[in-house]
Structure 1
């Protein structure tokens, strides 16, 4: 780190510039630290360190002062050098990569102003991309208020936080605190997929092959915090049952659950933010009126919600003869952008007029933002509705407003008529 010294280098420089120059050029240093696992030598000035830190003051001026070189094994040379630069200049750039190292150093050496700057950075970083690293850091350093604030933010913005890069670096203890909570606002498919990725990273870090058995082993008890019964049977079959992450017995018990036999092997309680909100905009017309699909054109309607939520399902009318099947494709669009698509077959059964068409991955819906449900359906004529309501409100004030479609609705569905009798949200 030494540089060629200059003549009269003190002239025209501020105090912090002069101190930095002496540190960088190791001028008149009187202590050498051997830092990190490789004992990298870093020189400094006892006077400067003692003036900033009670720990350094006792180290060099206490009853039993250090006389020779000092070994520091628990901090890397990079972070120790950053800490010294702050002591000499009171300037530092804190980011998500160095925050833990700097916070550890500030606590160990009682550098209160540096710790305050670390806390300020953490508090300002509670967003969707960094909430997980803030939560992890606050948990490790027992910053209780910040830990609570970050955890509540993750609960509220669950899906976005789960999809952040920082999620993969959570400890198992922190991940447990998140996924065991009923307050987490996230669909179980995303929770499962990201926890599998989290587990695979643990396998990689431990040089374990990424077999299903090792993924299960790395998850440990966390596996039993995943609420498999809340998944759609199709997702479970395609993405979970096709692996060996669950045992054969566990898979059988879950299939039994999907067919009406409750299991207590995995939690099945809806999370607080996963209680389904079913909103229907009309009554079923059981008279002679029906809705046909011979034109091959789309049925479309727009909607917007009063608050942020998650769309899980679209409601569709089934056959007015209670028999036959309809091939269908549903798109959810924001403007011209397709956010999600599902292709399925609706098989009508006796006595049932309205069916839930579930998305494998629910759609995040922003408040007061216009979205379009676009349906293309082929097959039997279906029921239609009557007494359509444009604004549907729940008992707790959440509402959905149905609007005329932004896209061509060639099969004539509108805010006042046609298919798509309702929507299901969680939130």
Structure 2
């Protein structure tokens, strides 16, 4: 252990998950790393990083690489966004997201993921699905956030949760029908914003787009 620790009495550790710290201590005694799931491996990795147990970090990464899949990749993304020390896992995460984006968007882990991870997913190159499916996935994520704030007006809460993603969502690649039956009906934009987007879908360049709207007309 490193750092200033009292020689007697209890040591209170508040920045590590109990499950990860227990697995870390167990490893120190046995020199064997065993995990029940990817979440435990991530919690243990945090402890191993803190106390500079590099071999255990490698064991955690080996388990994560073996177990990571579309249904849990968002859990690893959240970890990566928070700790920013997963360079050796980033390529694998991006590939899983790009190749399996439909499964990712439908997963429970995506609905529970952080807004920062949603942005990272939207910035991932080569997402193999339609833009409409991506926008629908983000909408479902935002709706789930609204349910956590039932005391607030529904439309206002939806806009608060979804508008930060507007610069990453390629509305101009939608058909007019998709845009009207989807984003317009959800009220995630103001009336003038929606009209400007619709005009540009029907006739590119016909109206000036608001700064918040993504200008890309290319499919992913």
Question: Which TM-score applies when normalising by structure 2?
Answer: 0.81
- Aligned position for 1:67: 8
Structure having the higher Rg: 1
Structure 2 stretches of 5 or more lacking a match? none
- Aligned position for 1:44: none
- Aligned position for 1:188: 131
Inter-CA distance 187–102: structure 2 relative to 1 (3 Å threshold): same
> Deviation at 1:215?
1.6
**Residue 269 (1) aligns with residue 217 (2):** yes
> Deviation at 1:205?
4.5
**Residue 230 (1) aligns with residue 187 (2):** no
* 8 Å Cα contact 1:212-1:244 kept in structure 2: yes
> Deviation at 1:181?
4.7
Per-residue deviation, residues 338-358 of structure 1 (Å, max 9, x unmatched): xxxxxxxxxxxxxxxxxxxxx
> Deviation at 1:247?
0.8
Partner of 1:221: helix, strand, or coil? helix
- Aligned position for 2:76: 134
Q: 1:86 aligns with which of 19, 27, 33?
A: 27
Q: 1:124 aligns with which of 38, 59, 66?
A: 66
Distance in structure 2 (CA, Å) of the matches to 1:180 and 1:255? 24
Per-residue deviation, residues 330-374 of structure 1 (Å, max 9, x unmatched): xxxxxxxxxxxxxxxxxxxxxxxxxxxxxxxxxxxxxxxxxxxxx
> Deviation at 1:91?
4.5
Per-residue deviation, residues 157-192 of structure 1 (Å, max 9, x unmatched): 322222222222333223223213553222112111
> Deviation at 1:72?
1.0
- Aligned position for 1:107: 49
* 8 Å Cα contact 1:134-1:147 kept in structure 2: no
Distance in structure 1 (CA, Å) of the matches to 2:17 and 2:64? 21
- Aligned position for 1:247: 190
Inter-CA distance 78–144: structure 2 relative to 1 (3 Å threshold): closer
Distance in structure 1 (CA, Å) of the matches to 2:151 and 2:188? 15
RMSD: 2.6
> Deviation at 1:126?
3.7
> Deviation at 1:127?
2.6
> Deviation at 1:253?
0.9
Structure 1 stretches of 5 or more lacking a match? 1-53, 273-427
Distance in structure 1 (CA, Å) of the matches to 2:153 and 2:66? 36
Distance in structure 1 (CA, Å) of the matches to 2:125 and 2:61? 28
Distance in structure 1 (CA, Å) of the matches to 2:26 and 2:114? 30
Partner of 2:216: helix, strand, or coil? coil
* 8 Å Cα contact 1:188-1:230 kept in structure 2: yes
Partner of 2:12: helix, strand, or coil? strand
* 8 Å Cα contact 1:229-1:268 kept in structure 2: yes
Larger displacement relative to structure 2 (114-123 or 157-166): 157-166
Inter-CA distance 122–267: structure 2 relative to 1 (3 Å threshold): farther
Inter-CA distance 127–224: structure 2 relative to 1 (3 Å threshold): same
- Aligned position for 2:101: 158
Aligned pairs for 1:299-338 (under 5 A) are none
Question: Which TM-score applies when normalising by structure 1?
Answer: 0.45
Distance in structure 2 (CA, Å) of the matches to 1:84 and 1:137? 21
> Deviation at 1:71?
1.3
* 8 Å Cα contact 1:125-1:134 kept in structure 2: no
